[in-house]
A = this chain, B = another copy of it.
Amino acid sequence: MTKSRNEIPRATVTRLAFYLRELQQMHRAELANVRSQSIAEKLGLKDSQVRKDLSCLGTVGQRGVGYRVDELIQNIQHVLGTDRAWNVILVGVGNLGRALTGYKGFGEQGFRLVGAFDSDPKKIGHKVGGLVIQDLGSLASFASVQAIDLAILAVPATAAQSVLSVIEEANISGVLNFAPVAVRPSQAGRTIVQEVDLAIELQRLAFSVVR
């Protein structure tokens, strides 16, 4: 049965995004159908897990044939909200920010990088990933003409909270925070912040290894 977005657990959302990545690869390889088992094998999951997750989409596989690849792709994108394009800006053009502008995966999943901002006068006016780096001070006016959905925050830890305020004032709905510090929106519910900490990813890996 189809579940509403509110009923889908975060862990399922993450797995759905991984299934999508596999399915898109299969689609490029012109595969029309796929069994849950082959998705499960690729990702090191149990077949039952994959079938349970896909049932959230209201998609049922056909006995002996499996699922239609294009239909699954559409359904997962619909649930994730990536069946439309998202306008994204980068805030903070350090080494990591610079690398992120060249990250092909964003574009492939419908995320369009439309602006890059920094507060360092030496960087402003220079280009990164085809975009002219703009002054952080002009973020609000830029956002008033361009519809911006999400911001990637890649500034130093010390600047993160104050830069978040600038992003909030520009009415941007979501922030992916790469700064190694927890930032909190001033008004709950206005801007959603998701933390990505690459050191924490290594710690999680270390935990799996010692276990």
* Contact surface of A with B, Cβ cutoff 8 Å: 5-6, 10-11, 13-14, 17-18, 20-22, 25, 42-44, 79-82, 86, 88, 95-96, 98-100, 102-106, 108-109, 111, 149-150, 152, 173-176, 180-182, 184, 192-211
Contact = CB atoms under 8 A, between A and B. Distances in A.
Contacts of A11: 11
Contacts of A44: 182, 184, 193
B194 A208 contact: yes
A130 to B, nearest CB: 14
Copies of this protein in the assembly total 2
Given A81-B206, A173-B209, A192-B209, 12 more contacts: A5-B210, A14-B200, A18-B195, A18-B197, A21-B182, A42-B182, A80-B206, A80-B210, A96-B102, A149-B206, A174-B205, A194-B201
Nearest to A210: B81
A99 B103 CA distance: 12
A49 to B, nearest CB: 14
25 contacts: A11-B11, A17-B200, A17-B204, A18-B200, A21-B182, A25-B181, A43-B182, A44-B184, A79-B207, A80-B203, A81-B207, A81-B210, A86-B206, A95-B99, A95-B102, A96-B102, A103-B198, A105-B180, A109-B199, A150-B205, A176-B202, A176-B205, A192-B209, A194-B201, A194-B204
A44 B196 CA distance: 15
A172 to B, nearest CB: 10
A29 to B, nearest CB: 13
A23 to B, nearest CB: 12
B105 A197 contact: yes
Q: 7 closest pairs, A vs B, by CB?
A: A105-B199, A81-B210, A99-B99, A95-B99, A17-B200, A174-B209, A5-B211
A103 B200 CA distance: 12
B208 A174 contact: yes
A91 to B, nearest CB: 14
A210 B43 CA distance: 26
